[in-house]
Amino acid sequence: MPSKSPVLMAAVAKEAARMAGMESEKLYAHYNHTDSCHLLRWTARESYQFMYERPWEKVVQFYSNLVSRGTGASALSELFTDKKYGIVNISENGDSSEEKEAATGVASKDNEKRRGGRWNRLNFKIVLSYHGGSFDGWQKQPDLNTVQGVVEKCLGEFVDENKAKQLKDRSLPIEGSALVAGRTDKGVTALQQVCSFYTWRKDVRAGEIKDAINHVAPEKLNVLAVSKVSREFHPNFVAKWRRYLYIFPLDKENIKDDSDHMDPHKSISELDCDLEEGDMIDISQKMPSDKINEESSFLDKRDEGNVIQISETKPQRFSVNKVDQILRQLEGKMLSYKMFARDTLASRSMGPATECFMFHSRATETTIPSTDKKSEEGTRVMCVELVANRFLRKMVRVLVATAIREAAAGVEQDALINLMGATCRRATAPPAPPDGLCLVDVGYDEFKRENCFILD
């Protein structure tokens, strides 16, 4: 192999030094908003702190209880007892009957028998729920406890002999391959996630797959239904909509406040009594070190672990009704959400576009039941329900955080629409914590608004 030219090596070293110098001098400037509410809008650091200083453990435990029941999205009905609600039928949606295949244009079983190759394999649809706080997200990663890793390990006993031999020859573990409707991040719960698995073995039964997965992590990972589907079924590509629910706690933790600008003799409960319904207050404190993670990578590193206070000249509360009004402006529109995505190029020459169609976007206030048997008092929360044909990376969490920030600043109802024309993603708020996010279900039929949780 020919050696590199000394001139070339010197040029590479010079460029590397220049880039290192630019990185060390990088400024973490905030986006320069120019509207009339720019002086009232929280900075990225203030918004981040406001989001994370909530009693998230109550929401995490609530989701854990839902998953352990093994009833899927129907368990959410207790939050909306005075409202209509609907869920995807997990036993029928994606059914492989000939009538269903004819209606969707999928090839019939007779046609599949006349074909070779992949048409000779069995394809299974798996509907499962899992607790986000118990796993490191969906996608399989080395040395991490992920949902995909657990599921594919269980599916290993159902792979055909040829695939098992290929994996063994390559010194790889014998595992199945699971396709999913949508990957979820660490901490995000799913109540009716959909994945699929195929095998050339003809003796595999749906019940066997369900039993194999359910015994691995009981009460943390539950398979709700397994059914044979068409060979053309792909949980991601044929899905017509996804529904997410974000639960944001409105009550502050009962912790002692030691900030200078607050009355040290006034309790948290007394402060909450001063608020109007649907509003909340921020109490600044030292941010726990375990909250400084990849979500805050864009914050000024000099402020990590320091006391970050929201200016006394800025609003300390927001209205749930205002958040609802802001979110409703997204309904029925095909818009580019590139400013609300994270870990995705804002403009890309290849790959999927950044446009999404929002079928439904609403917010309301309700109460989640207490997990403490000694206390019957629940926790006031704001629920945000979003249904779209697709979602970009961290899009839901950024939308929720930005809607809260804009509502607190008192902006117009079209605030989110206006931000879509921004030139930098710093115009939007940092992602809200993953603890409050839940993938409710995935739809393979046409969207019906009457099946949503939050209606007029």
Secondary structure of residue 196 in the 3-state scheme = strand
Q: Which two tokens stand for residue 202?
A: 């003809």
Pairing mode, strands 333-336 and 355-368: antiparallel
Pairing of strands 189-199, 379-388: unpaired
| Positions of E strands within 283-436 | 333-336, 355-368, 379-388
Are 453 and 383 in contact by the 8 Å Cβ rule? The answer is yes
Per the DSSP assignment, residues forming a β-bridge with 128 are 193, 223
Q: How many helices (H) and strands (E) does the chain have?
A: 12, 9
Q: Which of 35, 185, 343, 441 is catalytic?
A: 185
Angle between helices 147-155 and 206-214 (to 10 degrees): 130
Contacts of 204 (CB under 8 A, 6+ apart): 122, 124, 158
Measure the CA–CA gap between 218 and 213, rounded to whole angstroms: 9
Handedness of CA 47, 49, 52, 55 (dihedral sign): negative
Distance CA 100, CA 420 (A): 39
The residue assigned the tokens 């509360």 is: 317
CB count within 10 Å of CB 196 equals: 19
Cα separations in angstroms, 394 against 102, 178, 344? 36, 22, 9
Query: Is 372 among the residues known to form the active site?
Result: no
Beta strands 241-249 and 221-229 are: unpaired
Sign of the torsion formed by the C-alpha atoms of 300, 302, 306 and 311: negative
Six token digits for residue 420: 């879509």
Question: Crossing angle for the helix pair 320-328 and 395-409, nearest 10 degrees?
Answer: 120
Geometric angle at alpha carbon 127, from 332 and 392, rounded to 5°: 40
d(C-alpha 175, C-alpha 140), whole Å: 12
Q: Give CA–CA dist 80/61, Å, rounded.
A: 18
Catalytic residue positions, numbered: 185
